[in-house]
Structure 1
């Protein structure tokens, strides 16, 4: 059961990119319709902004600490998504409907769900403003707003999704398009991208590449396919141990990797993708594609841009060890919206949640926080339809593996943890606030040794 810590949940659950939000609810017709809820009070002891992974997890923990009636969650979306499974949805191995549940079903019982959007934060006055100028005050504020996808920043891409050749596993509206593009592939270039911005689940852009390559081999189309990974980064993965393992896979499968190339434009009528060379200003290269999987640029939610709680880039400015805000002692951040120097995954949120719970408890009791977050995160690097590498690491990009064996090896058990165990543990463990990362299990597995 402890294996939930290994999963790279890839997101904060609900937030969608702004230009796609209006149609989100139409995508999953089986969802229960929930009635809009507004605040029944204008003050809560703990106010949580965001109903994604971090927000739901912390609201569950705060409910147990101070009582449900003292906690509220602000979240506009009617549906909560388990996004890690979208890697497998895009590869045809899972159904999209399995990734979604009504938000009402994941809000802890008794906790107030305020179904609205945050319009403004005023931490100097201990309040936030929602839609319709509704003001909510708080004693403690937890910011868990996730991040925002920016497909619109790639010229031609939003309309390009009408093409059967383009998909993206990062949105509920486009993940099934990935599978259709893969099924329709005949011959030519299959291109996978990584943008020049922070991203959630940094391993996901290449997971779908490995799965697509495996699918093309299975269907006999691989000889006519050229697999291309164009990444804005200068390395295949930020932790050397796992990078070495991935480079071996890339070499054995004849995958072409181009470093420091960033997608700037899509021309769907010509099936062309335009990339800028980040090392040579002004230089671009045009690629023909038969299939294109796009990882969009990402950034902080609009409400955090130029906010008192954010740094110059718009990320919530928190202490990397305690998750307490650097300026406002009653404000805290968790997950993708923060400037924590670690990968933006819900495996990281699991580790952060346990620390943040203890941080807030200490502050409520008038004590200084003592527990420290070490930057733990993980990424299950799916490399085939029945294999995965379990990458776990810390702030220093050093492996922080839980099992007493080499997790950089492709394993069937690692794949089944990702595909079968993790969804159950996500809904019934992490979101209910019972999982704070695998550190205790790691200590047990390694007999107390580092």
Structure 2
């Protein structure tokens, strides 16, 4: 058995949305010994990056220092996790230490696999290629959109689970709305490439998004994805998985979303779900406990759950994890349940948004009374731009909501 160089009652891997929210709730509930493993000195509110790329927010508004958001009384272990031994109940770190735990919360987020599409890693960041999935590139997206007057704009989404599944579409709509207002949309061919057989998994939202794309004249390629890229030639290969045909499209602007997967050390660990080709952590869909290692809980992007990977999902998962952690430490049955709730704020124009809220059964799960959030509304846009960030910084990360 590995000997730990330090030990904590509860160790949380990851200081992002999920990790900090759980840590804050644990401290508010009186947990005496909570440690967070997080190497980054910066904490990002990633949902704002779409608006940065669409010219509606500054990147600085999405950033805080990690020290600002770390809950009081939490032991911040300023290093990365590199492995886990659930039998020994230890976590290996980048500095060579081993940290012991009584309970472990796994929330390191996911990995952006830029190398998953041949040519993408080499092209992104220049020659007309950008991505709002990197904070340093979101401002570039807006520069490319703002300077475009004619040509072909290509927006792509990879197959497999990705964080904020609506983001690949939202930037296409923001760009098209900007070009329409500038009077140049008729001179720009806009192509949206999506891997699914419909615009969205929930039919009521899919219909609204199809109408949005029609309104802008966007060419939607369903069951298709970007499979190769020649950045120097500005040529993208789009494969139609329904027919197997491949089309080479010359672009002037390309917003590409990379394939995504679990961090490699997670995928290679005993915690990975053997049924997940992307290496995500196995977790009971209701209790969020690992079925094989009951001392381990998982939430957020890294958990292999049949729901969209969003901050809204984390908001509902965190109290379940905290309640079940307390029950587990006391030897009691786990009674808290997560129903799969998630939401995708779908921005469809500069000041319009619809709010897609649904559960494991893909049934709409509205949370705002008396408001039909399936329709585009200006009030919903203001909620995304101003309301949700405040709720995030002052509510979720403080353990209140």
Aligned counterpart in structure 2 of residue 50 of structure 1, from 14, 25, 48: 14
Q: Tell me the secondary structure at the aligned position of residue 72 of structure 2.
A: coil
What are the equivalent positions in structure 2 for 1:206-355 lying under 5 Å apart?
A: 206-281=169-244, 283-312=245-274, 313=276, 314-355=279-320
Tell me if 1:378 matches 2:305. Answer: no
**Aligned match of 2:47:** 84
Tell me if 1:417 matches 2:380. Answer: no
Q: How many angstroms apart in 1 are the aligned matches of 2:249 and 2:285? A: 40
Q: How many angstroms apart in 2 are the aligned matches of 1:43 and 1:279? A: 52
Work out whether residues 127 and 234 of structure 2, in 8 Å CA contact, stay in contact via their aligned partners in 1: no
Shift of 1:41: 7.0
Q: Tell me the secondary structure at the aligned position of residue 257 of structure 1.
A: strand
Q: Tell me the secondary structure at the aligned position of residue 25 of structure 2.
A: helix
Shift of 1:130: 0.6
What are the equivalent positions in structure 2 for 1:133-148 lying under 5 Å apart?
A: 133-148=96-111
TM-score, normalisation: structure 2: 0.95
Shift of 1:234: 1.1
What are the equivalent positions in structure 2 for 1:26-105 lying under 5 Å apart?
A: 42-68=6-32, 70-105=33-68
Aligned counterpart in structure 2 of residue 192 of structure 1, from 129, 132, 155: 155
TM-superposition CA deviations, 1:415-444 (whole Å, max 9, x none): 000001111110110111111xxxxxxxxx
Work out whether residues 186 and 290 of structure 1, in 8 Å CA contact, stay in contact via their aligned partners in 2: no
Q: How many angstroms apart in 2 are the aligned matches of 1:161 and 1:405? A: 40
**Aligned match of 1:20:** none
Shift of 1:310: 1.2
Q: How many angstroms apart in 1 are the aligned matches of 2:7 and 2:65? A: 26
Aligned counterpart in structure 2 of residue 130 of structure 1, from 83, 88, 93: 93
TM-superposition CA deviations, 1:346-383 (whole Å, max 9, x none): 10000011111211122222210112111000011001
TM-superposition CA deviations, 1:45-77 (whole Å, max 9, x none): 000000000000111112223445x11000111
Q: How many angstroms apart in 2 are the aligned matches of 1:404 and 1:124? A: 50
**Aligned match of 1:442:** none
Q: How many angstroms apart in 2 are the aligned matches of 1:181 and 1:238? A: 30
Runs of 4+ in 1 over 6 A off after TM superposition: none
**Aligned match of 2:141:** 178
Q: How many angstroms apart in 1 are the aligned matches of 2:388 and 2:176? A: 24
Change (3 A) 1:392 1:175: same
Q: How many angstroms apart in 2 are the aligned matches of 1:65 and 1:384? A: 41
Work out whether residues 167 and 176 of structure 1, in 8 Å CA contact, stay in contact via their aligned partners in 2: no
Shift of 1:162: 4.3
Shift of 1:277: 2.1
Work out whether residues 79 and 95 of structure 2, in 8 Å CA contact, stay in contact via their aligned partners in 1: no
Work out whether residues 5 and 100 of structure 2, in 8 Å CA contact, stay in contact via their aligned partners in 1: no
Q: How many angstroms apart in 2 are the aligned matches of 1:132 and 1:356? A: 28
Q: Tell me the secondary structure at the aligned position of residue 108 of structure 1.
A: coil
Q: How many angstroms apart in 1 are the aligned matches of 2:148 and 2:231? A: 15
Q: How many angstroms apart in 2 are the aligned matches of 1:310 and 1:269? A: 38
Unaligned ranges ≥5, structure 1: 1-39, 436-450
Tell me if 1:395 matches 2:357. Answer: no
Unaligned ranges ≥5, structure 2: none
Q: How many angstroms apart in 2 are the aligned matches of 1:331 and 1:233? A: 32
Work out whether residues 76 and 115 of structure 1, in 8 Å CA contact, stay in contact via their aligned partners in 2: yes
Q: Tell me the secondary structure at the aligned position of residue 29 of structure 2.
A: helix
Q: How many angstroms apart in 1 are the aligned matches of 2:389 and 2:40? A: 20
Q: Tell me the secondary structure at the aligned position of residue 303 of structure 1.
A: helix
TM-superposition CA deviations, 1:131-175 (whole Å, max 9, x none): 232010010100001100011222222231342411101011211
Shift of 1:343: 0.3
TM-score, normalisation: structure 1: 0.85
Q: When the two structures are aligned, how many residues end up with a matched partner?
A: 394
Q: Tell me the secondary structure at the aligned position of residue 125 of structure 1.
A: coil
Q: How many angstroms apart in 2 are the aligned matches of 1:163 and 1:74? A: 34
Q: How many angstroms apart in 2 are the aligned matches of 1:394 and 1:262? A: 26
What are the equivalent positions in structure 2 for 1:347-366 lying under 5 Å apart?
A: 347-366=312-331
**Aligned match of 1:169:** 132
